[in-house]
A and B are shown apart, each in its own frame.
Chain A
């Protein structure tokens, strides 16, 4: 069964450092998403991406965040200068159609900012 894969599974970084979280969406999917889940809290939408550009983003997705699809398979989330409050589980998802209710999620990357 096709799946969304994310690397690394756990990333520890110092405050102020840049991190790049990587995702390989399902190959025939066209829409890509990033979500985050702070420990013990609800999942929050960050951004959606289609046709090599951001289609939607939430208020969380500020100038410190960026996304990129550098080649035909990877989809990355970059945080330029990490803050303690960026510590969370970050989930990548992809879908065939625009309706994100049908998205498949990866297993997540746990980001710990120290």
Chain B
């Protein structure tokens, strides 16, 4: 079964509102969690990551929250813009014995309503 998954396949948000995209993971040994943005016809684009020893990290208009107790990851986008419309997916990275294993989630499609 999948170790990383997303609760909502599609999220529609009014322009200017905040967006919250959620992700559940199951591997408590993961070191890093990453959020990617994938626009139609393009490759994944790194947005932000967070180490497992942190619970919050902020970037430009984005914030990632990590709740290890319930194995939950979220991406908050402030003042959502039409250019934010894309598929967002999380990934977990485990560094084990010098080897890295990255597992991706399926994704949530964010639709921004102008």
Contact = CB atoms under 8 A, between A and B. Distances in A.
Nearest to B48: A101
Contact of B46 (A4, A55, A101, A106): A101
B43 A56 contact: no
B34 A42 contact: no
A99 B32 contact: yes
Interface in B18-38: 32, 34, 36
Contacts, number: 54
Interface residues of B, number: 24
A56 B43 CA distance: 21
B44 A100 contact: no
Nearest to B45: A105
A42 to B, nearest CB: 5
B100 A103 contact: no
Interface SS, A side? mixed
Interface residues of A, number: 22
A104 B46 CA distance: 7
Contact of B89 (A42, A104, A105, A108): A42
Contacts of A55: 99
Contact of A103 (B42, B46, B89, B107): B46
Contacts of A4: 43
A101 B91 CA distance: 9
Contacts of B102: 45, 100-101
Interface string B71-114: 00000000000000000010101000001111111110000000
Most-contacted residue by chain B among A4, A43, A44, A102 (CB, 10 A):
A43
B63 to A, nearest CB: 17
A43 B104 CA distance: 6
Contact of A45 (B36, B49, B101): B101
A87 interface: no
Interface of A: 4, 41-45, 48, 55-56, 91, 93, 98-108
7 closest pairs, A vs B, by CB?
A: A105-B43, A43-B104, A42-B104, A42-B106, A101-B34, A101-B49, A91-B43
